[in-house]
Amino acid sequence: MSEPKYRTMGQQFGRRSWAEPWKIKMVEPIRMLPPEARQKALTQAGYNTFLLRSEDVYIDLLTDSGTSAMSDRQWAGMMLGDEAYAGSRNFYHLEGAIRKYYGYQHIIPTHQGRGAEHLISKALITPGDTIPGNMYFTTTRLHQELAGGTFVDVIIDEAHNPTSHHPFKGNVDLVKLQAVIDRVGAQKIPYISLAGTVNMAGGQPVSMANLKALREFCNQQGIHIYLDATRMVENAFFIQEREDGYQHKLIAEILHEFCSYTDGAWMSAKKDNLVNIGGWLAVNDPKVAEKARNMVVIYEGLHTYGGMAGRDMEAVALGIEEMVEDDHVRSRVEQVRYLGQLLLDWEIPIVEPIGGHAIFLDARRFYSHISQSQLPAQTLAAQLYLDSGLRSMERGVVSAGRDPQTGDHRYPALELTRLTIPRRVYTQAHMDVVAESVKAVFDAREQTKGLKMVYEPEYLRFFQARFEPIG
């Protein structure tokens, strides 16, 4: 194993270091519990990091969802909340921001991303339909299934291989898509479920060329494309960095162009939009918008607030303006890379290329002696917490759940533990602490044993399942 190389980000890339394009105005103290208290907290949490109390966590990399630090401008905007039940001025600000930066016409706010997934799935899916997509996401697929559809994965093979260096591992494989059409018929496919910066593949992007080809293909087949825009800004960064013809385009321009090849999008505003809560659905077809508006009043709230307070809509609108700043996106992705590069220097197995929002530890290679049925990724998340109070998340067999037809566990090719970096929250020094903790757990890997599930909820089991160490 090679010696650690202590290098600045700038040295790694042969240029001067970058720094966060913000300074800290308010702080929130964090503390590390002693080892016995960490063991007690983890036991009480059933070895599930979702069941830990946040105050027992030192560095919280569970998720980048709703964990961003808002800017002074956003906090000031919160004071301008128009809390009228109907027609809040903040809704019109939000609508304007989505139209301007994403380019869609009809906007329906929701309480968070899964609210929008619920609406679009119910609006478009007829029981018996098939929804091809570039890898499943937990809540997205569940809403598609609850609406009577079946999700089919048509992402390129490279996405399932953590060591493949393909620059756009989120791409759709048109041959696989054609095979699905041959099997079920285009009329049984209401839309393609396309995600930017594919979360479950390790934060991997879709190229503009792939989307253009997909659009042409779908036009011929009469199939729509709907986008999970949750992390599209990070996807735009990868296009700017890697795709010919985009190096001199702004993130905002790339985002707008990408969305223009799709028919609409659902959004968890808790990620790219830099807020703690919120979501939206945006579509171009007025008929789909009408259906969704009819449903939003049942499940979320009136169509001009959809479960959000006026002040929250204001924060989303301002967050959209801030998220497209090139400096912001660059420093966000480079911070993730800084952590990933430290781990690679220590030969710790992670998904490559390093993605946009998180480092995904490859638990199969990390714990090569623990079989997938003994939950290596869940085990790794537990061990990281025990080592340093670091909270991460399982993205493997537990997250994949059971096949609704057979009832069997789904065993995904990727068995990952996700270290997800909140936006504008932690500094580079925190990343150093995280990297050293991962290394300590890696060095002790041979003594580690797996886990077994002792409580399994019916839906999205990873959130509330409980585990025990195997004897």
Q: Which of 104, 226, 305, 462 is catalytic?
A: 462
Among the listed residues 113, 132, 190, 203, the single contact to ligand PLP using CB under 6 A = 113
Minimum distance, C-beta of residue 427 to ligand PLP, in the bound complex (Å): 24
Question: Which conformational region is residue 307 in: left (phi greater than 0), alpha (psi within -120 to 50 degrees), or beta?
Answer: left
Among the listed residues 48, 65, 383, 437, the single contact to ligand PLP using CB under 6 A = 65
Take residue 218 and report the two structure tokens written for it: 């779908």
Decide if residue 418 touches ligand PLP (CB under 6 A). Answer: no
Total Cβ atoms within 10 A of residue 51 = 16
Active site residue 379: no
Q: Binding-site residue total for ligand PLP (CB under 6 A)?
A: 14
Closest residue to ligand PLP: CB criterion: 113
Q: Which of 38, 271, 311, 337 is catalytic?
A: 271
**What's the sign of the alpha-carbon dihedral 119, 124, 128, 133?**
negative
Contact range with ligand PLP by CB under 6 A, out of 79-87, 133-141, 214-222, 338-346: 133-141
Decide if residue 60 touches ligand PLP (CB under 6 A). Answer: no
Active site residue 23: no
Among the listed residues 49, 67, 68, 112, the single contact to ligand PLP using CB under 6 A = 112
Among the listed residues 141, 224, 249, 270, the single contact to ligand PLP using CB under 6 A = 270
Take residue 402 and report the two structure tokens written for it: 């059971």
Decide if residue 90 touches ligand PLP (CB under 6 A). Answer: no
Decide if residue 114 touches ligand PLP (CB under 6 A). Answer: yes
Active site residue 137: yes
- Binding to ligand PLP, residues 219-248 (CB under 6 A): 228, 230
- Binding to ligand PLP, residues 162-201 (CB under 6 A): 195, 199
Decide if residue 422 touches ligand PLP (CB under 6 A). Answer: no
CB 343 within 8 A of CB 435: yes
Q: Between 140 and 262, whose beta carbon lies closer to ligand PLP?
A: 140
Minimum distance, C-beta of residue 37 to ligand PLP, in the bound complex (Å): 29
Q: Between 113 and 306, whose beta carbon lies closer to ligand PLP?
A: 113
Decide if residue 149 touches ligand PLP (CB under 6 A). Answer: no
Contact range with ligand PLP by CB under 6 A, out of 38-46, 48-56, 134-142, 447-455: 134-142
Binding mask 272-291 for ligand PLP (x = CB under 6 A): -------x------------
Active site residue 182: no
Active site residue 138: yes
Token pair 């999970």 is at which residue?
A: 228
Minimum distance, C-beta of residue 443 to ligand PLP, in the bound complex (Å): 31
Binding site for ligand PLP (CB under 6 A): 65, 112-114, 137, 139-140, 195, 199, 228, 230, 268, 270, 279
Which of the residues are catalytic?
85, 137-138, 228, 271, 395, 462
